Amino acid sequence: MKTPLSDRLAAAAFLVSIVVLSVVYGGVAAVRGWFPAPQIELAHDTAVDLALFWRNDLGLAPTRHLVPAPDGGPDRGYSRAPEAEPTPGFVLVTSLGDGGEAPSHVVQMFDSAGREVHRWPIRYDRFDDEMSPRNVVLHGMEVFEDGSLAVTFDVGNAIARIDPCGTPIWVVNGNFHHSIERDGEGALVTWRDETIVHLDEDTGEPLSALDIRRDIIPADSGEQRGYLELRAVTLEEVGDRMEYVEDPFHPNDAEPLSAEMAEAFPMFAPGDILFSLREINLIAVADPETGRLKWWRHGPWIRQHDPDFQPDGTITVYDNGTATGRSLIRRIDPVDDSLSVVFEGGDEVPFYSWRRGKHQVLPGGNILLTESEQGRVLEVDAEGRLVWEREVPWDDDRNLVVTEARHVPETFFDDGLPDCAPRDADPSGSDAG
């Protein structure tokens, strides 16, 4: 018996209404984060991550740590410009280990002639048994006069101080990330999640904490909200509640103002914290006791890293210039917000890292640059001319990501260059007795 037309139309209308309602609900769920939108997004992100990095996660190749080499070819490495004079001292460079029984990461130290003079093995599995060493990225690095290092990791779960041979001196677990700086008063300053923390450099013991949401945003009677709550869900979606999108700040640097440099910054006090929030293009200086901002600026830098106090009373910033094709080192005077460009790349000296990156203004005015997304470290002089460069090759076409390079003077270490030789060994090879 043939189904009446009215019944068929009713069934079709019902199916259409189900489809329309599903589409409408899906759109609203995606905006408001209702089920199953978060689960679908997580599944999608996981699938994309696996497709990109399955070779890394199976231990076949460290694809999470590789970037295309700027020029490629087998002869990459260290090169020096003719007649150029490198700044005397040593340069420490973060890198990846060799896999297998070798350390998961390393820090190499080179002299001013480009020769390796020491390396610290960084065995992440000695610090944490939750994260796979092949999935974490060595990022923050601080060096001490006794030859020890402090290190942090992206997507990791630890901050650690190690001796020159890589043996842990202390380990503190937690999501410590990006930069590490010494305050000159016996503390390390770094990020744990969205909190600036001070740790005792000898023991790792937590000393103080300054949290963005808990301490900085509500400070100064709430007057600072407008500078910080930029990446939030719109009021039409949440009413009078403030809800943030994922990773609204992405903090990536925190540097204390040292007592030695404080005289150049009369508007600040020793211990004030200069910090960087990548997602809102913000650098600012905060009172660590109250969270009150003493100075701040949004841009013109784009997704910046590594603002540094300078002895002349200015602040330099690594402007990544994401999606512009060029990175810059900018200088800003916090007295009047006047801006200048210290270094920008060009045809002679290309320079671009769309994410990550560090810089260090050296004695004499040269600049040490970490071009992370090219796997390259370079020194340029005050006129922007190349002094030397070092790529860290993995194969003919790819370099290893370099997250930080650090210069120290020739007289930095108390007892000469770090080494791992047994202190009581007899040079002849016989037992010392």
Query: Three-state secondary structure along the chain?
Result: CCCCHHHHHHHHHHHHHHHHHHHHHHHHHHHHCCCCHHHHHHHHHHHHHHHHHHHHHCCCCCHHHEEECCCCCCCCCEEECCCCCCCCCEEEEEEECCCCCCCCEEEEEECCCCCEEEEEEECHHHCCCCCCHHHCEEEEEEECCCCCEEEEEECCCEEEEECCCCCEEEEEECCEEEEEEECCCCEEEEEECCEEEEEECCCCCEEEEEEHHHHHCCCHHHCCHHHHCCCECCHHHHCCCCCECCCCCCEEEEEECCCCCHHHCCCCCCCCEEEEEHHHCEEEEECCCCCCEEEEEECCCCCCEEEEECCCCCEEEEECCCCCCCCEEEEEECCCCEEEEEEECCCCCCCCCCCCCEEEECCCCCEEEEEHHHCEEEEECCCCCEEEEEECECCCCEEECCCCEEEECCCCCECECCCCCCCCCCCCCCCCC
Say if residue 234's pLDDT is above 80: no
CA-wise closest residue to 181 among 418, 404, 417: 404
pLDDT digits (tens, 9 = 90+) for 84-110: 999 999 999 999 876 445 668 999 999
Contact between 327 and 357 (Cβ < 8 Å)? yes
Distance CA 22, CA 24 (A): 5
- pLDDT-derived band at 134, boundaries 50, 70, 90: confident
Higher per-residue pLDDT: 19 or 396: 396
Q: Looking at beta carbons, which pairs linking 344-348 to residues 24 or more positions away fall under 8 Å?
A: 344/384, 346/384, 348/385, 348/386
Of the listed ranges 17-31, 225-239, 360-374, the least confidently predicted one is 17-31
Which of 96-110, 179-193, 256-270, 315-329 is least confident? 96-110
Q: Is the pLDDT of residue 385 over 80?
A: yes
If phi over 0 gives left and psi between -120 and 50 gives alpha, with beta otherwise, what is residue 174? left
Quick one: average pLDDT of 215-219?
97
* Angstrom distances, CA of residue 90 to CA of 13, 135, 216: 75, 29, 37
- Residue 354 token pair: 């769309």
Sign of the Cα pseudo-torsion (153, 158, 160, 165, in order):
negative
What pLDDT does residue 58 have? 57
Name the least confident of 56-70, 148-162, 272-286.
56-70
pLDDT at 56: 64
Q: Which of 149, 211, 141 has its CA nearest to residue 178?
A: 141
Tokens of 28: 């609203």
Q: Hey, CA dihedral for 397, 402, 407, 412, is it positive or negative?
A: negative
Low-confidence winner among 20-24, 38-42, 53-57, 417-421 (lowest mean pLDDT): 38-42
pLDDT at 103: 65
Which range (49-63, 98-112, 218-232) has the least confidence? 49-63
What average pLDDT does the structure give for the chain? 88
Tokens describing residue 20: 């329309």
Tokens of 123: 């065995």
Instruction: Mention every residue, 6+ apart, whose C-beta is less than 8 A from residue 176.
Output: 140, 152, 153, 156, 158, 159, 190, 191, 192, 197
Cα–Cα distance measured from residue 340 to residue 311, given in angstroms and rounded to the nearest whole number? 16
Task: Give mean pLDDT, residues 169-180.
Answer: 97
Q: How confident is the model at residue 124 (pLDDT cuts 50, 70, 90)?
A: very high
What is the amino acid identity at position 242?
M
- The residues pairing with 192 across neighbouring beta strands, listed in sequence order, are 176, 195
Average pLDDT over residues 193-217: 98
174 vs 99 pLDDT, higher one? 174
Q: What is the pLDDT of residues 302-333, one digit of tens each?
A: 999 999 999 999 999 999 999 999 999 999 99
Per-residue confidence band for 73, with pLDDT thresholds at 50, 70 and 90? confident
Entry pTM:
0.86
44-48, 120-124, 150-154, 339-343 — which is least confidently predicted? Answer: 44-48
Which residues partner with 110 through β-bridges?
91, 116
Q: What per-residue confidence (pLDDT) applies to 42?
A: 42
Residue 147 has pLDDT above 90, yes or no: yes
Q: How many CB atoms lie within 10 A of CB 214?
A: 13
The label of the residue with tokens 């209404």 reads: 17
Q: One-letter amino acid identity for 403?
A: T
What is the percent of the chain where pLDDT is above 70?
81
Cβ-count burial of 8 within 10 angstroms (0-12 exposed, 13-18 middle, 19+ buried)?
Answer: exposed
pLDDT at 237: 64
Task: Report residue 374: phi and psi, to 5°.
Answer: -115, -5
